[in-house]
Amino acid sequence: MNNTTRQEKLDTDVLIVGAGPTGLTLSLVLQRAGVSSLILDKLETGQNTSRAAVIHAHTLEVLEPLGVTADLVRQGLRISRFTLRDRDDRLLGLDFEQLPSRFSHLLMLPQDVTEGVLREKLAAAGQRVRWGSRLEWLQQTDRGVDARVVSRAGVEVLRARYAVGADGMHSLVRQSAGIDFTGSSYADSFVLADVDMHWEHGREEVMLFFSPAGLLVVAPLPDGRFRLVATLDDAPDRPGLADVQALLDARGPTRGRARVSCVHWSSRFRLHHRVADRYRNGRLFLVGDAAHAHSPAGGQGMNTGLVDACVLGQLLADVLQGRRDVAQLDEYERLRRPAAEQVLGLANRLTSLAVVRGAARRMTRNSMLRVLGLLPPVRHRLQLQLSGIARRAASELPDAA
Ligand SMILES: Cc1cc2nc3c(=O)[nH]c(=O)nc-3n(C[C@H](O)[C@H](O)[C@H](O)COP(=O)(O)OP(=O)(O)OC[C@H]3O[C@@H](n4cnc5c(N)ncnc54)[C@H](O)[C@@H]3O)c2cc1C
């Protein structure tokens, strides 16, 4: 029979390119649904750097059926307060304990730990990542997708029914699908550092400081560390202790000591503000940073990708197992692209507010935020947006019928 012949010739139903947090999550969803998938990454092993450090309430909700949320919560640090400040002035405060969610907090956890939890779950479910395997070329055929993959073992062409680009900002899958990544790049870079420091302002709160010199975030991490994030025009590749201390001195609180004693990890990255014009072209799909890239203000990037992966995984499983018609694959873009646009808007507003220049404009901004901060509906809306709960509907597939 035609269908059987086709199945025999395919290596897998879903080829996932990229084993970052988004690809790992997608693989886990498919594995649990009983769909055959193959996940590969050009790296020799998973990345072990800190990068995205917050997991929001809505992400924890959508990851719960995969059995990873409890592990993440166990290893992370729960924080319930988020404040916007200008040096010593507290402009606006959010209390996440009021969130309408089982997870009424921000969960601070370095990205390498998050990826480790996902990889362990995947391995326990019997799925292995093919590390050291680089996608070189991809093409849709009338029966599926052909992908040329290079590894130490040589070159092979893998055949799949669908392929998903979880291959990050410079996605080859996106280019192969002929999908533009529309948007722009910010002039600033972001500096990130995980540090030990003497800090007299507690470990119960994430603080976002506005300053004419740029934004500074101070967030507690597990193991007594702090994550510092700052915008900087000409940031060094690997900011050192003196660079990080200078940022704290120039932008942080003037009262109370803030003295960095050790930089465990630091990095710099350029900011982009882009969304893929489409999330699907035929049998090719985009998830995570391959589909959207934006400022880390508000910590939304990885979170949005993880929700993308859960939605697309469920949809592909439903279609491949006959519960939905193939035409419903368009639901993925219909739900998730507007969610990314909302996230981009939020991250852009926070970044622009943070870097307002000129004393008069700063005073106006601060007064406006102080007034807005007194209004419960405004605070509530901002909490829902930051936690992702405002975008719950964008993760809910319509009934399969
Ligand atoms: C230095 C740095 C700091 C960051 N800090 C923050 C932060 O503070 N907050 C925040 O929200 N976000 C932050 N981010 C962004 C966050 O890390 C990303 O949103 C997240 O990693 C996206 O996950 P992903 O799985 O979509 O893509 P990625 O994590 O980029 O994973 C893509 C994977 O695809 C693989 N790949 C690419 N091309 C190919 C190919 N041709 N063949 C095979 N494999 C391929 C790559 O090796 C990689 O492992 C930061 C990113 C960086 C680089």
Pair of tokens at residue 83: 């404040």
Report pLDDT for 401.
Answer: 66
Are 307 and 389 in contact by the 8 Å Cβ rule? The answer is no
Report pLDDT for 98.
Answer: 86
187 versus 335: which is more confidently predicted?
A: 335
Q: Supply the DSSP string of 320-364, one letter for each residue.
A: HTTSS-GGGGGHHHHHHHHHHHHHHHHHHHHHHHHT--SHHHHHH
Q: Are strands 81-86 and 205-210 parallel, antiparallel or unpaired?
A: parallel
76 versus 214: which is more confidently predicted?
A: 76
Q: Is the CB of 40 under 6 A from ligand 1?
A: yes
Report pLDDT for 3.
Answer: 39
For atom 12 of ligand 1, the residue with the nearest CA is 52
Q: Is the CB of 150 under 6 A from ligand 1?
A: no
CA angle 292, 357, 192 (to 5 degrees): 45
Q: Ligand 1 center to residue 11 CA distance, Å?
A: 26
Separation of alpha carbons 183 and 274, rounded Å = 4
The phi and psi torsions of 292 (rounded to 5 degrees) equal: -155, 140
CB atoms closer than 10 angstroms to residue 363? 12
For the stretch 87-132, pLDDT in tens is 998 999 999 998 999 999 999 999 999 999 999 999 999 999 999 9
Q: Ligand 1 center to residue 271 CA distance, Å?
A: 13
The average pLDDT across 22-45 equals: 97
Separation of alpha carbons 275 and 305, rounded Å = 12
CA angle 273, 99, 66 (to 5 degrees): 75
CB atoms closer than 10 angstroms to residue 45? 11
The average pLDDT across 155-174 equals: 97
CB atoms closer than 10 angstroms to residue 44? 9
Are 27 and 16 in contact by the 8 Å Cβ rule? The answer is yes
- Report which of 125, 154, 110, 106 is spatially closest to residue 25, judged by C-alpha positions: 125
Q: Ligand 1, residue 172: give the atom nearest the CA.
A: 41
For the stretch 212-218, contacts whose Cβ atoms lie closer than 8 Å and that sit 24 or more positions apart, written own/partner, are 212/355, 212/356, 212/357, 212/358, 212/362, 213/250, 213/251, 214/188, 214/251, 214/354, 214/355, 215/251, 215/297, 215/351, 215/354, 215/355, 216/247, 216/248, 216/251, 216/252, 217/297, 218/248, 218/252, 218/258
Q: Is the CB of 298 under 6 A from ligand 1?
A: no
Report pLDDT for 7.
Answer: 42
Asked if the model's pLDDT at residue 5 lies above 90, the reply is no
The average pLDDT across 227-231 equals: 92
Report pLDDT for 48.
Answer: 81
Q: Is the CB of 296 under 6 A from ligand 1?
A: yes
Report pLDDT for 336.
Answer: 98
pLDDT band at 219 (very low <50, low <70, confident <90, very high): very high
Arithmetic mean of pLDDT over the chain? 92
Are 159 and 282 in contact by the 8 Å Cβ rule? The answer is no
Pair of tokens at residue 385: 């947006």
- Report which of 358, 350, 355 is spatially closest to residue 251, judged by C-alpha positions: 355
Pair of tokens at residue 186: 């910010």
Query: Percent of the chain beyond pLDDT 70?
Result: 98
pLDDT band at 190 (very low <50, low <70, confident <90, very high): confident
Alpha carbon distance, N-terminus to C-terminus of the chain: 27
Separation of alpha carbons 339 and 62, rounded Å = 15
Q: Is the CB of 111 under 6 A from ligand 1?
A: yes
Report pLDDT for 1.
Answer: 36
The average pLDDT across 67-94 equals: 94
Q: Ligand 1, residue 24: give the atom nearest the CA.
A: 25
Pair of tokens at residue 233: 């025009």
Asked if the model's pLDDT at residue 33 lies above 80, the reply is yes
Report pLDDT for 353.
Answer: 80
Q: Where are the beta strands (DSSP E) in 96-153?
A: 106-108, 129-130, 134-140, 145-151
Q: Is the CB of 148 under 6 A from ligand 1?
A: no
Separation of alpha carbons 58 and 217, rounded Å = 22
The phi and psi torsions of 86 (rounded to 5 degrees) equal: -120, 105
For the stretch 363-386, pLDDT in tens is 888 888 888 888 889 999 999 999
The average pLDDT across 276-295 equals: 96
Separation of alpha carbons 331 and 127, rounded Å = 27
Report pLDDT for 132.
Answer: 98
Q: Is the CB of 119 under 6 A from ligand 1?
A: no
The average pLDDT across 120-147 equals: 95
Q: In sequence order, which residues have a C-beta less than 8 Å from that of residue 206 and are 6 or more positions away?
A: 54, 79, 81, 82, 83, 106, 108, 217, 218, 219, 220
Asked if the model's pLDDT at residue 165 lies above 50, the reply is yes
Quote the pTM value: 0.94
